Structure formats: C-alpha cells, structure tokens
Amino acid sequence: MATGYGPTPLLALSALLALGGPGLAPGPPPSTPHPQTVPTHAGRRPMSLAVESSAFTEGEAIPPRYTCDGDNVSPPLTWSGVPEETAALAVIVDDPDAPAGTWVHWVLYGLDPGRTELPEGVPARETVLDGARQGRNDFKEIGYGGPCPPRGQRHQYAFKVYALDASPELESGATKADLVEAMDGHVLAEGRLTGTYRRH
C-alpha cells in the first residue's frame, strides 16, 4: 500500500546534487584523480655515479693500510657521471654489518662539484680540500676512521658518493644523521663502492 510519503529529504538532496539541480553544479566524479605534482629531481630516482678506487675493487678486500690494523688512512676514490647542475658533493662511509647497527666511518660534505676524486689520506681536520667539511664518525672523531670489525668477522663497507643540488648548510662535526636530513630532496645522483675487511 502506498504511504503517500515522497523521498526522504536526504535522498531528495542526493538526487538533486547528482543531477546538478537548480543552482547546483555537479561535482567531479568520485574517481577523478587530483592533479599530479610537476616532476622535479627531488621526486625522481637519483641518477647513478660510478665510484671506484685504485686500492680495491667492488666486493673485494680492503687493504689493511686503510684499516685500524694499518695506517688508518682513507683510501683513494674516483667517481664519474656527476650531473651538470650539481652544486656540491658528499661522501658517507659506513658498515651495515656492525653488531650494534650501522657504524659510520666517514662523513664528508661540501665538496666542490667539479671534483672527481679524493686522494689517499684525507687529513683528519674539520675543513679540507678547499673548503669541504668533515663530520664526526661513530668513533666520535672528525674525519675518516677505517674498518675495525670484531676479530674473525668479515664486514662490508659502503663508500657512498652523492651529487647534490645545494651544499648542505652544516658546520664541521655534523653526524651522518644530520647530513642525511640536510640532503633530503636534494640528491641528483649517487653511487657506491663496497669493500670488505676481516680481522684475523
């Protein structure tokens, strides 16, 4: 039996909106996507740098000279593929196999974008290489601290180079965490060389 009631006010309003009734423009369909952000380098996967050393090759053992069992000096590094718009370079060396979590061995930033290499034995000073700055490693020291894993363990060491669109505004002595935060959204290209070391 018909009750004599029309559509409820809520249903009537819904129908009116759907049809774009008097004075009401229909909204976009629910499936219409929001406009996409204009792509920038910060939103793209970084390009690749080729990182090499005359002291060791990818996946091979790092000579003792560059470790705590030797002279504990930084190894020579070279890289290629730096984008033209690079404003600065940065280097991070760490050990992801350390028992207590990733151990940081070197933090270096503000390198001239035209540089394509690091010499052996970068001094353990706050400022080096025409104005580049060195951070504090997990040995609580400025500059490079070589591989020094527990005896009998073979660890991997990642020598990572970053090309940035802006020089990090960090004073000397910054940590890896400080540098990673400052580089966020500014990495144009990156590359790494991984070596290993085992203490007997």
Q: CATH number for the domain including 153? A: 3.90.280.10
In this structure, the dihedral spanned by the alpha carbons of residues 21, 25, 30 and 32, taken in order and rounded to 10 degrees, is: 150
Q: How confident is the model at residue 44 (pLDDT cuts 50, 70, 90)?
A: low
Mean per-residue pLDDT of the chain: 84
Q: Is 64 helix (H, G, I), strand (E, B) or coil?
A: helix
* pLDDT at res. 200: 86
Does residue 2 sit within a domain? no
CA angle 14, 20, 22 (to 5 degrees): 105
* pLDDT at res. 46: 85
Does residue 68 sit within a domain? yes
Number of folded domains in the chain? 1
174 in Cβ contact with 189 (< 8 Å): no
Does residue 114 sit within a domain? yes
- Average pLDDT score over residue span 160-167: 98
Residues 6+ apart with CB under 8 A from 119: 76
Does residue 110 sit within a domain? yes
Domain region containing 76: 45-198
198 in Cβ contact with 153 (< 8 Å): yes
The DSSP output letter for 22 is T
How many of the other CB atoms lie within 10 Å of CB of 129? 17
Does residue 40 sit within a domain? no
